[in-house]
Structure 1
Amino acid sequence: MKNYEEAIGIDVSKKTLDAYCYQARLHKVFANDLSGYKSMIKWVLRVSKTRDVFYCFENTGYYSLKLALYLDSQDIVYVEESPLKIKRSSGVVKEKTDRLDACLIARYAWLYREELEASTVKRSSHLELGRLLALRDQLVRNNAGLKGTLKEMQVLLSSSTTDAGCTSLVRSIAYLQKQIKGIELRITDIISTDVEMSRNYELLSSLKGVGLVIACQLIYHTGNFTRFSSWRAFSSYCGTAPFGYRSGTSIHRRKQCHYLGDRKMKSLLSMASVSAIQHDSELHLYYKRKLAEGKDKMVAINNVRNKLIARAFAVVKRGTPYVILQQHVA
């Protein structure tokens, strides 16, 4: 971004916004609603004495989304940054207050203003896709918990069909399954009505092990394959990329995946890899070859995960479905 004259750090909570002007060294609290946003903009323009201002705040999900939508609608430059980046740039901080958090965010924005990139709001279809995927995941977890409870009760009871508790659980499970099916239909509608997402979904579906959920999650987390420059960058984001660990001559460990990463994507890729090993002859041979080289089972599965990520980015970039070359070998 250009060299702005003022950076405003905002600590976003459910009901309030703590705004801090870094150069003016002023702090004020506003409501986290439309009137609060308007009041904050007026206050910033009054105390900063310049219009060359940009705003910075942490990505806190739904709480920060409303603010981002408003700033985007007013063509106001803002940066929605990862909380971890801001926290690690702040050094050792022993106190925790909303005012201090806003001050640290403003400090981060000012120090890194030349390196930061302005954020933009995702399209409404993309935002709805993310909400539905998160809701589906929650319903699936709830459904699995109810199934586990039902299974335990059936073991204990002599006649589970006449028990009121079991009957209620069966009805709840059926209802949740119906809701999950409805969400999946809506996800399919969103994908089919968006030309770019529909195209990439069809390409991803050509990969063995990639179904509706993993394909949609890939589309959502990659911003429909516009957020990451390469599959290696996305692998690092997911936590599947191995990194070296060396220091001097005495510390020399084997490469390992970093614990920081999107655990949900990593888990989905693991399940997709297991399925791909069973149904894709190339990946099956690749997995067996890694085991024969003496690699641990989980290391070999991680290799397959990265293979899937590389294939996903390749088919989208190339614009053609994946073809198993081995089936054309004479």
Structure 2
Amino acid sequence: MTSLKLRHRPPGLDWAVVVANKLLFHYQSSNDQKGIESFVKHLKQQYPQASFDNSLYCMEHTGIYNNHLLNFFQDKRANSWVEHPIHIKESLGMIRGKNDKVDAQRIALYAYKNRDEARLWTARAAPTQAGGHSKVGPLDSHS
């Protein structure tokens, strides 16, 4: 399980990787192609058996801020799960303390605990402009 928490100040990503219900590592990257690729490289170093086929990437729905992550995962045919933040929060009960690193870990543990109910994200067709194409349209998930 890999989860990500998008940070707004400073902008970036907090990644948490959980294997067998245990935190393997936490990683921070920029919220762009270079940052995402740096995480993937670090993941391969820390856990060589990880692949896009056998991993689940869970994140909170944050609107357009998810789009380039979802484009990257779509290109890699990775298993992506975009969950409503309220579902994650309600599943954890009352919690004290909050920061992006802890949130990333909580999302990863939520994903591990609920992996059998994961709704994988798929892109819906979005209108294109003449001569161009659109990759990520509105969010959609299926069971």
Partner of 1:38: 37
Following the alignment from structure 1 to structure 2, what is the Cα–Cα distance between the partners of residues 122 and 83?
21
**Correspondence 1:16 to 2:15:** no
Which position in structure 2 is the counterpart of 1:272? none
Question: Is 2:112 aligned against 1:114?
Answer: no
What does residue 25 of structure 1 align with? 24
Which residue of structure 2 aligns with residue 264 of structure 1? none
**Which residue of structure 2 aligns with residue 204 of structure 1?**
none
CA distance in 2, matches of 1:30, 1:71: 16
**How far does residue 80 in structure 1 lie from its aligned partner after superposition?**
0.7
Distance in 2 (alpha carbons) for counterparts of 1:27 and 1:98: 11
Alignment RMSD: 2.3
1:50, 1:114 → 2: CA distance? 21
Q: Which runs of 5+ in 1 are unaligned?
A: 1-6, 129-185, 187-219, 229-330
CA distance in 2, matches of 1:88, 1:102: 16
**In structure 2, C-alpha distance between the alignment counterparts of 1:40 and 1:100, rounded to whole Å:** 18
Paired with 1:30 and 1:77, the residues of 2 have a C-alpha distance of 20
1:55 is matched with 57
Q: Distance in 2 between matches of 1:17 and 1:40?
A: 10
Deviations along 1:213-269, whole A, 9 cap, x unmatched? xxxxxxx79x7xxx79xxxxxxxxxxxxxxxxxxxxxxxxxxxxxxxxxxxxxxxxx
* 8 A contact 1:10–1:18 mirrored in 2: yes
Q: Please state whether the residue corresponding to 1:16 is helix, strand or coil.
A: strand
Counterpart CA distance in 1 for 2:105 and 2:5 is 9
Larger radius of gyration: 1
CA drift of 1:108 comes to: 0.7
For 1:1-330, list aligned pairs within 5 A. 7-14=1-8, 15-23=11-19, 24-51=23-50, 52-125=54-127
Q: 1 or 2 for the larger relative contact order (CA 8 Å, sep ≥6)?
A: 2
User: 2:88 and 2:120 mapped to 1: Cα distance?
Assistant: 16
Query: Between the two proteins, what is the percent identity of the paired residues?
Result: 25
- CA separation in 2, counterparts of 1:91 and 1:43? 32
Q: Matches of 2:44 and 2:124 in 1, distance apart?
A: 27
CA distance in 1, matches of 2:6, 2:107: 11
Alpha-carbon shift at residue 107 of structure 1 (Å): 0.4
Measured against aligned partners, the alpha-carbon deviations of 1:187-217 in whole angstroms (never above 9, x if no partner) come to xxxxxxxxxxxxxxxxxxxxxxxxxxxxxxx
User: Counterpart of 2:135?
Assistant: none
Q: Which runs of structure 1 show a deviation greater than 6 angstroms over 4 or more consecutive aligned residues?
A: none
2 CA distance for matches of 1:105 and 1:79?
11
Q: Equivalents in 2 of 1:123, 1:12: separation in Å?
A: 25
* Bigger strand fraction: 2
Offset of 1:31 from its aligned partner?
0.3
Write the distance in 1 (CA, Å) between the matches of 2:91 and 2:48. 28
Any gaps of 5 or more consecutive residues in structure 2? 130-137
TM-score by length of 2: 0.79
Higher helix share: 1
